[in-house]
Structure 1
Amino acid sequence: MKIAIAGSGALGCGFGYMMKKGGNDVTLMDYWDAHIQAIRENGLSISVNGKEDNVSMKIGKPNEIQDTFDVVFVFTKSMGLRAMMEAIKHTLTDDTKVVCLLNGLGHAKTIAEYIPEKNIIMGTTVWTAGIDAPGQTHFMGEGPVEVQNADPSEEEGARQVVKMMADCGLNGVYSENVHFTTWRKACVNGTMNALCSLLDCNIEELFHTSESDHLVTEIITEFSQVAATESVDINVQETVDYVKMTAEKVGAHYPSMHQDLQQNKRPTEIDFLNGAVAKEAEANGFSAPYCKLITQLIHAKEDIYGIKR
C-alpha cells in the first residue's frame, strides 16, 4: 500500500516504521523542522520493544508532499486534526482511506468534512511511544489496533487496513463496535493521561498511590454516564479492571499528555477527553465534577507554564 502518516511524532513514526518494514511505501508528514532534518540526514532511529533499529524514511511538511495515497493515518493531537486535514487535502483522492487513531472524542465529524464517510476508518490503539530527540523515538506494545469503517456497512476498506497492519506486526483487528472501543480508550486516557499529568508521575507510580483506585473509579463512572447518552454501555468495574491491566503492561511510561504538558510545555488534549465529558454531562442535565475539576486544573497548569491554547 501507498501510505502517508499525517503527524509523524512518536506514534506516527512507530506506525510508519512498522508499515515500511512490512513492505509498504510510507511517507511521513510533519511540521517539526529539526525532526524532519534529522530523519532526512540520518534516517529514523527507533527502539521497538527494546530492539534498536535505523531506517531511511521519506519525510516532509504536508505542503511539500505532492503524492496521493491509498491510506492516510492521522496522528496529530486532537486540536490539530482540522488543520492537518486542511493541509493534506491535496493528497486525498476519491478512494483514499483516512484512518483515525487519535485520543479523544468527536473526530469522525471533522474528517467527514474532507472525505466521504465510507472512506473514514475509526479506531483505537494501546501502543505507546515517545520521542527521545529529533529523529529518535521509542515504540512499545503488542496491540491490538481495533478499527471499523465509520459507515459500518462499508467493511472492505477497514478489513484491507486490518490485514496490512496484521502483516506488519501491528496486530490489526476489525472491530464490530468501534464506538465502544473509542469510549473505552477515552477512559484509559481520561485516567492515566490526566492524572499522570497533574501528579507529574509515570503510570507505574500513579497506580502505586493509595488514591488511584478511587480516582480511576470516579472518573470512569463519569465517562460511563455520558457514554450512556450515546447508547454506549461502559461497565464501570470492567473498565477499571481494563485500565489497571493496561497500566501493568505499560509500566513506568509517561503518557502523551504528560509529555505534552510537563516535559514539552505544549497544549494538552484535555478538552477532547475529561473536558468533553464534563461539557456533555452539563448539556444532558447532570454533572461530572471530577472531570470538570481535572480539566480546570490542567488548564491552570497550562496557564502557569504560559502555554497558549
Structure 2
Amino acid sequence: MKLTIIGAGAMGLRYGILLQEAGNDVTFVDTWQPHIEKIKEQGGVYVMRDHKDRHLEKIKLETPETYNDDPEVFIFFTKQMQLDDYLKRCAHFINRKKHYAFTCMNGMGHIEKLQEYFADDRIIGGTALIATILPGPGEVDFMGKRGAGKMNMCPLNEKPDEMCQRLFDELEKAQINPTLTDDFTGTLMTKVIFNSVINTICTMFQIQMGEFGNFPGAYKMGRQLIDEAYDICARAGIKLVSSREEEMSALDHNTRIDMPLHYPSMYQDMSKNRPTEVDYINGYIANLGRKYHYEAKTHTFVTQAVHLAEFHQQNLAKA
C-alpha cells in the first residue's frame, strides 16, 4: 500500500518503519524542524529496540509544504493539540472523497477534527497498547521485542470496507497485532480510560509504570478513576469493549509485566517541557460527565494535578 504518516514522532515512526519493512511505500510528514534537519543530515532515522541495536533506517520525509503525493491512506500520529495546525497545513493535498484517514492517537477530540477533512466512511479509528520513545531529534526507541504490543481498529461507520481490510492485513504483516472491533466509540473510550490511570498518575509522580503497578494502593487508585469513567459511559450510552474487571486486569498486566520500565508518553512530553494531553484524556472524561449530570471529581482533580506537575516542571526549567 501507499501510505503517508502525518507526524513522525515516536508512534508515527514505529508504525511507519514497521509498515515500510513489511513492503509498503511509506512517506513521513512532519513539522518539527530540529527533527527534520537531523533526519536529512543523517540520511534517515536511528532506530533502537529497548536501547540496543542502534541502526540507521532510511525514510522519505517531507513537510506539509513540500509534500506532493497521492497515498491511499493518511495515518495520523500527532499530539491532540497539534492536529488542527497539521490539518490546515496539509489541506491542499487531502481529497475528502478519495483519501482515507487512520489514527491511533491518544485521547479524544481528534475524530471531529478529521471529519472536517475526510468523509465519515473514510475514517478509521484505533487504539494502541504499544510503547515507544523519541529520545531526541532523528532517533526512536521501540520498547519490547518484535511483535510486542497490540492494537484495536474500527471504521467510524462501523462498516469495514476493502480498504479497511487491506490496511488491517498490512498492519498484521508488520506485526503490530491489530484486532478489528465493531464499536467505534466504545473502542476509543476504553483506551482513553486506560490512559486516564497509567499516563496521568505516572506523570504526576514522574515514575515508571512498574512503580505504580507494584504500589500496594494501585488497585484502589485505578479503580476509583475507572469506576467514575465507566459510570459516565453508562449514562452516555457508550458500550465499552472491556468490563471494569477486565480493564483493571489489563492495567495490572501492562504496568507490572509488559512494560514496568516504561515512562508513558504523557510523562515524556512533560519532561521535555511540552504540553501534555491530559485535557483530552481525564479532562475529556470529566467534561463528558458534566454533560450527563455526573461530577467526576477524581478525574477533575487528576487533570489539575497533572497541570500542576507541568507548572512545576516549567519552573524548574526556568531556574
| TM-score, normalisation: structure 1 | 0.93
Alignment of 1:222-261 (within 5 A): 222-228=228-234, 229-233=236-240, 235-247=243-255, 248-261=257-270
Aligned AA (2:107): G
Does residue 77 in structure 1 map to residue 83 in structure 2?
Answer: no
Q: Is the Cα–Cα contact under 8 Å of residues 28 and 60 in structure 2 kept in the other structure? A: yes
Other-structure match for 2:55: 53
Other-structure match for 2:287: 279
1:52-84: CA deviation from partner (whole Å, max 9, x where unpaired): 432111112211212122111110111222222
Does residue 180 in structure 1 map to residue 186 in structure 2?
Answer: yes
Q: Once the 2 structures are TM-superposed, how far is the Cα of residue 265 of structure 1 from its aligned partner? A: 1.0
Q: Is the Cα–Cα contact under 8 Å of residues 171 and 178 in structure 2 kept in the other structure? A: yes
Distance (Å, rounded) in 2 between the aligned partners of 1:303 and 1:133: 22
Aligned AA (2:261): A
Alignment of 1:15-26 (within 5 A): 15-26=15-26
Alignment of 1:175-214 (within 5 A): 175-214=181-220
Q: Once the 2 structures are TM-superposed, how far is the Cα of residue 231 of structure 1 from its aligned partner? A: 2.7
1:111-137: CA deviation from partner (whole Å, max 9, x where unpaired): 111110011000111111111221111
Other-structure match for 2:176: 170
Gaps of 5+ in 1: none
Q: Once the 2 structures are TM-superposed, how far is the Cα of residue 154 of structure 1 from its aligned partner? A: 4.3
Compare 12-21 and 148-157 and name the one that shifted more: 148-157
Cα gap change, 1:51 to 1:158, in 2 (>3 Å):
farther
Distance (Å, rounded) in 2 between the aligned partners of 1:199 and 1:161: 38
Other-structure match for 1:124: 127
Aligned AA (1:140): M
1:70-118: CA deviation from partner (whole Å, max 9, x where unpaired): 1111101112222222221222233211101011123222111111001
Pick aligned residue for 1:290 from 295, 298, 306: 298
Distance (Å, rounded) in 1 between the aligned partners of 2:150 and 2:165: 14
Other-structure match for 1:114: 117
Distance (Å, rounded) in 2 between the aligned partners of 1:200 and 1:143: 23
| TM-score, normalisation: structure 2 | 0.91
Aligned AA (1:206): F
1:144-187: CA deviation from partner (whole Å, max 9, x where unpaired): 22211111134322111101111122222222223222122112
Distance (Å, rounded) in 2 between the aligned partners of 1:74 and 1:225: 30
Q: Once the 2 structures are TM-superposed, how far is the Cα of residue 306 of structure 1 from its aligned partner? A: 4.3
1:32-68: CA deviation from partner (whole Å, max 9, x where unpaired): 2221122222211112355543211111221121212
Gaps of 5+ in 2: none
Q: Once the 2 structures are TM-superposed, how far is the Cα of residue 13 of structure 1 from its aligned partner? A: 0.8
Distance (Å, rounded) in 1 between the aligned partners of 2:170 and 2:53: 22
Q: Is the Cα–Cα contact under 8 Å of residues 80 and 109 in structure 2 kept in the other structure? A: no
CA RMSD, 1 decimal: 1.7
Distance (Å, rounded) in 1 between the aligned partners of 2:149 and 2:308: 34
Does residue 215 in structure 1 map to residue 221 in structure 2?
Answer: yes
Q: Secondary structure at the match of 1:251?
A: coil
Fraction of identical pairs, as percent: 25
The size of the alignment, in residue pairs, is 306
Q: Once the 2 structures are TM-superposed, how far is the Cα of residue 279 of structure 1 from its aligned partner? A: 1.3
